[in-house]
Copies of this chain bind each other. A is one copy, B any other.
Amino acid sequence: MSEQQMPSYPVDDTNRVKRRHQRAHYDHATVHAVLDSATLCHVSYVIDGQPYCTPTLFWREGTTLYWHGSSASRMLRSLSEGQPTCLTVTHLDGLVLARSAFHHSADYRSVMAFGHARLIEDPAEKERALVMMVDRLFPGRTASLRPTTEQELKATSVVTMEIEKASAKIRAAGIIDDEEDYALPIYAERIPVHTLIGAPEPDGRLVAGVTRPATLSGFSAGRRLDEALTEAYAASYPAGS
């Protein structure tokens, strides 16, 4: 399929990438790949004209995003009123040292997703979302846990947002200097940046005989977090949603 034929998010003035538009992508596959390889996002919302930018854990289901918070939080009180929202995910992949200050840059993958967020109030919808909040990261884990209590359900809120518009912006170019600058005796390099999983730390108070379940094997020391998350996502949503 050409890029024109792929399912894509609509483009208008809100999400059209104006700067460096050659780095822009609007197709579902590219946007979703950036989202599903992350667990941390930043959510922007407005209260009384003041913008807030809040980091939180999130996940995707089809063209719907979910994120988590406490019922007491400022963000969720605001969002339950259905405000316009922007959820952004960024992976930093490298620092680029060129031969001029102007061409210093970074390699990165980011997505900005726009929509109207709403608090999930239906108990069944909320319970299902709370399962996926854990299982999206660690497939099947919820079934092995101490069940959630009524009080815990009340103390947790889940927000959902249909993605109305989205754009991905990706730079994976390394060093791009002006042609005449390559002749200069100036050092230039790309410094790769990787977010990696460290050696898992089993809790010190595990009951004797309790061992690490095979379902966690994807989270192994030295592995890239974005790869482990992408794999976990595919296991949790095998239909490829």
* A residues neighboring B (CB under 8 Å): 14, 18-20, 39-40, 42-46, 49-55, 57, 69-70, 72-74, 83-88, 90, 92, 94-95, 97, 99-102, 104, 106, 108, 110, 112, 114, 130-131, 133-134, 137-138, 141-142, 144-149, 152, 155-156, 174-175, 177, 181-203, 205-207, 209-213, 216, 219, 225
Query: Can you report 21 residue pairs joining A to B where beta carbons are below 8 Å apart?
Result: A18-B74, A19-B70, A39-B95, A51-B51, A51-B83, A51-B86, A55-B88, A97-B216, A100-B146, A100-B148, A101-B148, A102-B148, A144-B187, A146-B184, A186-B207, A187-B206, A187-B210, A187-B216, A190-B200, A190-B203, A193-B196
| From B54, B87, B92, contact of A40 by CB (8 A) | B92
A104 to chain B, nearest CB (A): 5
In the assembly, how many copies of this chain are there?
2
In the complex with contacts A145-B101, A184-B146, A194-B195, A202-B189 CB distance below 8 A:
yes
Pairwise interchain contact A197-B191, C-beta atoms closer than 8 A: yes
Pairwise interchain contact B175-A225, C-beta atoms closer than 8 A: no
Q: Whose C-beta in chain B lies nearest to the C-beta of A85?
A: B51
CA of A140 to CA of B226 in the docked complex: distance in angstroms?
33
Pairwise interchain contact A192-B201, C-beta atoms closer than 8 A: yes
In the complex with contacts A145-B99, A199-B192, A86-B187 CB distance below 8 A:
no
CA of A193 to CA of B69 in the docked complex: distance in angstroms?
21
Chain B residues within an 8 Å CB radius of A216:
97, 187, 189
Q: Whose C-beta in chain B lies nearest to the C-beta of A70?
A: B19
Chain B residues within an 8 Å CB radius of A83:
51
Pairwise interchain contact A189-B175, C-beta atoms closer than 8 A: no
Q: Whose C-beta in chain B lies nearest to the C-beta of A183?
A: B207
Chain B residues within an 8 Å CB radius of A112:
52-54
Chain B residues within an 8 Å CB radius of A144:
186-187
